[in-house]
């Protein structure tokens, strides 16, 4: 018996086996969770995600572009039909046009800013609203942030502003859903090589800097993010909501 045996979760944001959402999935599956999944509505995204999750036999694996309310509605309807409830939700989604990230923040376009905010921050509001009616008391939502939402990390630019909005949305959602017994938290992850991070200029320097500066003298491991996910999604964190947990080897506490 794992600590998630009998629990139903939805994981949004797997691109491939380097995705943070995949690290969460592996930890959750080891602990007995039954999972549903989404992928971006494109044949290549579907192929990549199917390859990974088909062996887990999900009852729900559906396309979902979080910019589309109708996609979100279909996913949560399918979850309701297949399982009747949802015990937890992993939101691990972000996007900013790469050309916007390469420019200084002051040069970012209105369109690029809105797009990045919609996908990277508003989507947490949209999916939490759709998930809440399916969630019994004791359920939990977790999202993934980065320290660039608290401090200026040169190169992270527009995405840092999105992460600031994401973290504060998470707190307001924690308030709105708290009286229903649903907790909402964020993991602020240290830099990991993934598809998304490839679009951030100076990302390799961020990883090197993290090794020099962090208390543990290294970068975070995917499994460590998976374990932090278990904490927020299980009753180990029953009294915790609206919190940002830095899983960054102690990078964020050092003032260098
Ligand atoms: P990833 O593997 O590329 O995951 C990002 C996911 O977002 C992908 O599955 C992507 O789908 C999905 N996505 C993008 N636009 C979407 C849309 N409109 N609708 C639905 N899904 C969409 O990268 P990751 O690093 O694991 O990122 C996951 C989260 O962790 C993000 O919020 C990221 O900002 C955060 N984070 C990452 C790091 C890091 O260093 N990697 C550090 C801290 C926080 P497709 O791939 O199919 O396009």
Cite the DSSP H helix spans in 33-97.
Answer: 43-53, 69-83
> What percent of the chain is modeled with pLDDT above 90?
95
Q: pTM for this structure? A: 0.98
**Which two structure tokens, joined as six digits, stand for 67?**
């910019």
Q: Which atom of ligand 1 is found nearest the CA of 39?
A: 47
Burial of 80 by CB count in 10 Å (0-12 exposed, 13-18 middle, 19+ buried)?
A: middle
Summary mean pLDDT of the chain: 97
Q: Which fold has domain 8-251?
A: Rossmann fold (3.40.50)
Between β-strands 88-91 and 244-247, what pairing exists: parallel, antiparallel or unpaired? unpaired
Predicted local distance difference test score (pLDDT) of residue 117 = 98
User: Quick check: is 105 catalytic?
Assistant: no
Q: What's the pLDDT tens digit per position in 200-246? A: 888 888 899 999 999 999 999 999 999 999 999 999 999 999 999 99
Query: By mean pLDDT, which of 25-34, 154-163, 193-202, 205-214 is the weakest?
Result: 193-202
Predicted local distance difference test score (pLDDT) of residue 202 = 85
Q: Which residues line ligand 1 (CB under 6 A)?
A: 13-15, 19-21, 40, 45, 64-67, 92-95, 119, 144-146, 189, 191-192, 194-197
Q: How far is the CA of 45 from the centre of ligand 1 (A)?
A: 12
Contact residues for 195 (Cβ-Cβ < 8 A; gap 6+): 15, 16, 18, 19
| Residue 252 Cα to chain centre, angstroms | 19
Domain boundaries along the sequence of the chain = 8-251
Contact residues for 149 (Cβ-Cβ < 8 A; gap 6+): 160, 161, 162, 163, 164, 165, 166, 167, 188
Q: What is the mean pLDDT of residues 125-148?
A: 98
Bridge partner list, 164: none
185, 170 Cβ separation under 8 angstroms: yes
């Amino acid at each position: 018996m794992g600590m998630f045996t009998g629990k139903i979760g939805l994981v949004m944001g797997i691109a491939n086996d380097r995705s943070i959402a995949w690290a969460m999935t592996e930890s959750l599956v080891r602990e007995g969770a039954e999972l549903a999944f989404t992928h971006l509505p494109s044949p290549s995204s579907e192929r990549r995600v199917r390859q990974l999750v088909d062996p887990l036999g999900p009852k729900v694996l559906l396309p979902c572009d979080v910019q589309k309310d109708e996609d979100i509605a279909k996913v949560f309807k399918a979850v309701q039909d297949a399982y009747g409830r949802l015990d937890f939700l992993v939101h691990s989604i972000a996007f900013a046009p790469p050309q916007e990230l390469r420019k200084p923040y002051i040069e970012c376009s209105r369109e690029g800013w809105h797009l990045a905010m919609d996908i990277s921050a508003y989507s947490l509001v949209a999916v939490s609203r759709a998930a809440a009616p399916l969630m019994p008391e004791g359920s939990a939502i977790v999202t993934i942030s980065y320290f660039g939402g608290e401090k200026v990390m040169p190169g992270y630019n527009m995405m840092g502003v999105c992460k600031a909005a994401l973290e504060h949305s998470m707190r307001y959602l924690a308030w709105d859903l708290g009286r229903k017994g649903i907790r909402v938290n964020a993991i602020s992850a240290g830099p990991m090589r993934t598809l998304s991070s490839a679009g951030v200029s100076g990302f390799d320097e961020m990883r090197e800097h993290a090794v020099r500066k962090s208390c543990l003298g290294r970068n975070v491991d995917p499994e460590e993010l998976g374990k932090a996910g278990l904490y927020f999604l299980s009753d180990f964190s029953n009294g915790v909501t609206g919190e940002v947990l830095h899983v960054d080897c102690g990078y964020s506490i050092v003032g260098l």
